[in-house]
Chain A
């Protein structure tokens, strides 16, 4: 076969439209030329329009002073900071809501997906109603509903609802006790981190030993003890590593403590509930793809319902679940850009909204914004592909 292919390649090209190689070459050159010409034309038009309207070009504006405030900043930010800094603040806010939303959506989605297959009629029906309601209503409408119809009409800070002792819900969001650091907290955190890393290796060792010898090593007990006891010792020796910063009622609003903005809450809630409905369907399809014989065999071996689900069904279902789950996580990240509609300062709202309006440099700002989402998309699919490669069936 290889020889034949080479012979075809070596054969002199016929200068005729009937030669498939020449024809495909012409098509490709024509397509490339058309694309290049179109890009060239648009670039030239843009150049002409920009110079006629005296709009600055280039990325120099990123160093200019922003001059506007942002209500939620994970990194130090002030009005004197640069546009580049504002971009970074927006990016962090997007990543924060996407990461938290993903965790909530995956947890809730698995719960609802499993509930849809529950033998309990009421639970299964409730899960079905949840899925069919939430995924058939536009996300933006759900965000408006949470923000304008639920969170905004809540009472003000003075009459706020007490969710838990020290945790208050009002139309300014949720206020809760914050955690402050003291001198010994680095040591405490270091030991905690060390214990967690060590427990990972203990778990691996335990699994390897069970595979090799069949003996059980009580890894979970050892790990729980080490994670609690080791940092506890540091606590006892060095004194309390944290101070609790309780929220107090100020003149008009709470001061101190940690605060979750209503915009953030609405966005997080909306994204998580909406995406969970889609994840639930994916999980259901994944579990249904595992043959009934697997469950029956597991039951015959004496595994409980829960053990069957955790040890037999879900590991196999994950192979079916992971690829569509990846695209749902990507959707959640992209959908977090709807923040702009309810005023949560995410990347689109801060950068493609305020910064674009102030600088007028549409091409640069939109290109950067789109570039960021492309990079996030590619990075997420890469990470999930790696994970997928781990859980995929290893064939010959």
Chain B
């Protein structure tokens, strides 16, 4: 017992100031936590087929709303009998992603190639059904988590090569190329994503030749890719700066060309350094995908809002329930990725810890 008392004395009540803080925090928790737990569990409605179950005073969260609309949250208005195609695309992606994330599994380069080149093509064909023999599904019908993941993954996959080129350009010894890269990067980093999306949805069509029509999703993807490539370029540049100059000089002394030096010597070292940074960029991008709902796409959050406006489910606690659920889903994704990033950081730093 004395151990626990000692711990309390040392960590919570070491002096007057700390005792006061502890009491203040306990008071705040006591005021905030029980009502929330009551709202989320004890007073919450768990069963019901429509809004009537959740009406009435002293009712908490309206969980049947979530259960009833789960399919819409994941697939949007994607036809129900074709959703297996989305599932297969998702599983194929998972099959490539899981070995990629485990450092011990070999053949990382082939794995990356599958994830960045082969899988996106397969997934696009499967989801859009844009091949003879498959039933086509218009992008207007795509929604929910499907669109969120499509925007986030396209953003990161497209920004990867573009970001590397821009980072190399910004560190180039040729003044024109350096200036052009710097202007490009600083421009996209200086404007908010929402103006980029506005630009993509209302301004881009004006710049395209007649006959070439991009639908809204594709236009947003172009905007997101350009935007995130600027951020990716800065992450990669950080990694390039961490590679000692001697590596470049040694490679050049061996007679390697510029592209050989970069591709075989510098980039493999630089990219390893910036894996945590890339994951962090992806977390930021994943959160930023919510912005596409402002230009009329229905991502996960947009789909939650659509279902909230459904007359069958409009209840006083509906908005709070929907947003808390959405927040939990985003949190699970982002927190998981940030843990992974921290794990990689520790792993990469192992060699440097003395």
B32 smallest CB distance to A (angstroms) = 11
B91 adjacent to chain A (CB < 8 Å): no
CB neighbors of A among B257-309 (8 A) = 283, 287-291, 293-294, 301, 305
B183-196 interface bits toward A, Cβ cutoff 8 Å, 1 = contact, 0 = none: 00001011111110
Chain B positions within 8 Å of A46 at CB level:
206-207
A118 adjacent to chain B (CB < 8 Å): yes
Cα A137 to Cα B328 with chains together (Å): 8
Cα A113 to Cα B333 with chains together (Å): 24
A328 smallest CB distance to B (angstroms) = 12
A366-381 interface bits toward B, Cβ cutoff 8 Å, 1 = contact, 0 = none: 1001100110011000
Whether B180 contacts A35 by the Cβ 8 Å rule is: yes
B136 adjacent to chain A (CB < 8 Å): no
Cα A335 to Cα B12 with chains together (Å): 38
B93 smallest CB distance to A (angstroms) = 22
Cα A378 to Cα B183 with chains together (Å): 12
Cα A95 to Cα B191 with chains together (Å): 15
B167 smallest CB distance to A (angstroms) = 16
Chain B positions within 8 Å of A138 at CB level:
287-290, 301, 330
Chain A's closest residue to B326 (CB) is A141
A80-120 interface bits toward B, Cβ cutoff 8 Å, 1 = contact, 0 = none: 00000000000000000000000000000000000000111
Chain A's closest residue to B183 (CB) is A35
Chain B positions within 8 Å of A352 at CB level:
195, 198
Chain A positions within 8 Å of B314 at CB level:
none
A227 adjacent to chain B (CB < 8 Å): no
Cα A83 to Cα B158 with chains together (Å): 38
B13-29 interface bits toward A, Cβ cutoff 8 Å, 1 = contact, 0 = none: 01000100110011001
A290 adjacent to chain B (CB < 8 Å): no
Whether A144 contacts B323 by the Cβ 8 Å rule is: yes
Whether B330 contacts A137 by the Cβ 8 Å rule is: yes
B272 smallest CB distance to A (angstroms) = 22
Whether A45 contacts B207 by the Cβ 8 Å rule is: yes
B209 adjacent to chain A (CB < 8 Å): yes
B11 adjacent to chain A (CB < 8 Å): yes
Whether A334 contacts B191 by the Cβ 8 Å rule is: yes
Given contacts A49-B210, A138-B301, contact A370 B18 (CB under 8 A): no
B36 adjacent to chain A (CB < 8 Å): no
Given contacts A45-B208, A120-B21, contact A24 B191 (CB under 8 A): no
Q: Say what secondary structure dominates the interface of chain B.
A: helix
Interface centre among B173, B174, B180, B192 (most CB of A within 10 A): B192
A177 smallest CB distance to B (angstroms) = 28
Whether B202 contacts A139 by the Cβ 8 Å rule is: no
Whether A148 contacts B319 by the Cβ 8 Å rule is: yes
Whether A28 contacts B194 by the Cβ 8 Å rule is: no
Whether A120 contacts B319 by the Cβ 8 Å rule is: no
Given contacts A24-B173, A337-B195, contact A148 B323 (CB under 8 A): yes
Binds B, one of A62-70, A121-129, A251-259, A308-316: A121-129
A281 smallest CB distance to B (angstroms) = 11
Whether B287 contacts A120 by the Cβ 8 Å rule is: no
A191 adjacent to chain B (CB < 8 Å): no
Chain B positions within 8 Å of A139 at CB level:
287
Chain A's closest residue to B19 (CB) is A120
Cα A118 to Cα B203 with chains together (Å): 50
A68 smallest CB distance to B (angstroms) = 18
A389 adjacent to chain B (CB < 8 Å): no
B249 smallest CB distance to A (angstroms) = 15
Q: Which of B174, B192, B283, B331 contacts A373 (CB 8 A)?
A: B192
A206 adjacent to chain B (CB < 8 Å): no
Whether B195 contacts A370 by the Cβ 8 Å rule is: yes
Chain A positions within 8 Å of B189 at CB level:
377
Chain B positions within 8 Å of A132 at CB level:
335, 338
A133 adjacent to chain B (CB < 8 Å): yes
Interface centre among B173, B193, B283, B290 (most CB of A within 10 A): B290
Chain B positions within 8 Å of A123 at CB level:
21-22, 25
B70 adjacent to chain A (CB < 8 Å): no
Whether A363 contacts B290 by the Cβ 8 Å rule is: no
Whether B327 contacts A145 by the Cβ 8 Å rule is: yes
Cα A363 to Cα B192 with chains together (Å): 16
Given contacts A119-B18, A149-B323, A348-B195, contact A338 B291 (CB under 8 A): yes
CB neighbors of B among A40-84 (8 A) = 42, 45-46, 48-50, 52
Q: Which of A122, A133, A145 contacts B323 (CB 8 A)?
A: A145
Chain A's closest residue to B184 (CB) is A35
Whether B290 contacts A141 by the Cβ 8 Å rule is: yes
Chain A's closest residue to B198 (CB) is A352
A-B contact pairs, 8 of them (CB 8 A): A49-B207, A137-B331, A140-B291, A149-B320, A153-B320, A341-B294, A366-B195, A370-B191
- Name the 8 nearest CB pairs between A and B, nearest first: A121-B11, A136-B334, A28-B176, A334-B192, A138-B287, A377-B190, A149-B320, A337-B192
With A32-B176, A341-B293, A369-B195 given, can you name 14 additional A-B contacts, CB distance below 8 Å? Answer: A45-B207, A118-B21, A119-B11, A122-B12, A137-B287, A137-B330, A140-B301, A141-B323, A141-B327, A337-B194, A340-B294, A362-B206, A370-B191, A374-B190
